Structure 1
Amino acid sequence: MAGRRLPFTSPSTPLHGRDQPLSVSPQTGEKKLLSAISGLSRQLTQFAADVNQQFTLVNSRLLSMEDRLAALESKNCVEETNSKKRRRVHNPKIAEALRRLHNSETNSMHYEPEQRVTSPHNEGVTSHLLRAMSASPDFHDADHDDIVSACKTYYETVRRNFRYKQPDLALQAEAVKSSARSRARRKRLIEARQSVLGEDEVGIWKCATIDLMSDEEDCIVGGVSGWIVKPPSFRSQELTELCATLQSRLEATPKYRATHHRRFRSGSNLERAPLDTYSSEDENRCFMVL
């Protein structure tokens, strides 16, 4: 009809690209995104469960290791304490009887110093000595641990003597013997001087130790056997004067002169470092201030 326009629709024109409705692509993308997030979440949950299980297993093993370590340390402490206790309970009577038994002509089993104390042979010697000592009426009631400890101590003596007889240790052995002999003489000297100590001299003598006594070295002067006396260089003058006073009292006794060598004073002091520890008060009284 004139003056009117009819609506026109294309038969079936396809929609392409950005001409498509906007609601189609976002819905599909969101579904894919939600599906990916859900899958990732499940994976993370499984991964966390696996990690937690592994951590639980590791912690369980660590706790087991800690328990074992604590048990081992406790055992070592007990063994060390028992070992030290046996050492402290050293019985000179057992030690002397054991030495005589080991070295007697009737004993056919002796320690082999070339081998360890735990070797089959030396273990057998220890068992033999233990049975023999336990069978003795004098040691019937003795503790077996004390006897075993004495056996091991004597084995160490046998091994030490064996090692010191080796050519490469001859000088070391002589040095050890000389040091032990010198210390024994200083010990005897301090005990002898203390026996003639006066009441007014006790104060300074409290700090006197074996290391503060003079060394006595064997010598022959003018055909007379005696000792060269070398006082330590770190000893104070006050203690040195007291030692001289006490020594004069000893030598005034005929019995002491008859049983001790003559003492010759050398011109120099002995350069020997003190081995013991002292308090500050002791240092002020007994040590020379350098």
Structure 2
Amino acid sequence: MDNTTSQNDSAMSEHVISEVDERGVATVTLNRPEVHNAFDDVLINSLTQTFTRLGADDSIRAVILASKGKSFCAGADLNWMKRMAGYSYEQNLNDANALANMLHTLNTLPKPTIARVQGAAFGGAVGLVACCDMAIGSKMSKFCLSEVKLGLIPATISPYVIQAIGERNARRYFTTAEVFSSRRARRIGLLSESVTEEELDITIESLLEHILKNGPNAVTAAKQLIADVANRVPDDALRNMTSERIANTRVSSEGQEGLGAFLQKRRPNWYIS
């Protein structure tokens, strides 16, 4: 990426590369291509630190989750799984909580998030994709919720995957552990778009161009609005809450700038072309 700065996040930061360009677009790259970017406890901790830092940085306008090599992510690392096989219940619970916390941090990141998916995304990697607001996949990508093949279940990723693909599809893919295509992933809602390998970055850049024209505080508030409104009955409490939200944004400095720019037929001060 041109005009970027790299930032280290842990002692093992070489496995997670964090770069920010001059527009405030952060790219978080899984950098373990030799093991198909499989994750372990160290990588999970590094991702949690990275997502937490980016979420708290007001200069960040969007976050791309990417990876190096042929695969997006193969799920759990084999050596980590070998260690887990000898863990006690308490040790397994701590490990699971760390993964659940990382996924929650990504899912609630107060910036637009885009997964750039090339190659395979298996097991927990499907959870990473589901936690992002948008996911662009190569037509050569393959997906699999493979946990039951090992006598396990996709527990920590389940809230996000079910939200992305729906309960009916989850009943199928959680229990069959079959591999499904990028086209199928697009059809069931896991991917936003399925494009050729050459179109991956072009498609993501198009999304970024739209995002960077919008008020950054409004984008964050819009994400939170979805979380607060989804699956709620539009009763008096919800109607009052949504009315208060729009009233607050209208009188905010960003809202006033946006309305003023529209009325004056000029670009608002946050606009990046």
Common fold by TM > 0.5 = no
Larger Rg: 1
- TM-score range normalised by the length of the shorter chain: under 0.3
TM-score, structure 2 normalization: 0.18
Q: Structure 1 length normalisation: TM-score?
A: 0.18
